[in-house]
Amino acid sequence: MSKEREEETHDVEYEWEKKLDEKMKKFGERAEEAGKKFDRKMKKVGDKVDSYFK
């Protein structure tokens, strides 16, 4: 493989990794937000259950 072709391939791999990192970061943020919503709902359910048994 020529030196030029090798650099071009490296650039494409770098761009692809950068895009993948961005997507994973966005996914992580969405998953974290979903986790917070789930925690809030479970707390409400827990409060209702606690009040039922009091």
Using the 8-state DSSP alphabet, how is residue 39 labeled?
A: H
pLDDT (tens digit, 9 = 90+) per residue, 6-47? 777 778 888 989 999 999 999 999 999 999 999 999 999 999
pLDDT of residue 10: 76
Number of domains in the chain: 1
* pTM (2 d.p.): 0.54
pLDDT of residue 12: 81
3-state secondary structure 3-38: HHHHHHHHHHHHHHHHHHHHHHHHHHHHHHHHHHHH
Give the amino acid at 35: G
pLDDT at 1 over 70: no
Residue 28 tokens, joined: 């992580």
Residue 2 pLDDT: 65
Q: Which residue has the tokens 């997507």?
A: 23
Look at residue 53 and tell me whether its pLDDT is greater than 60.
yes
Segments forming the whole domain that contains residue 47: 1-54
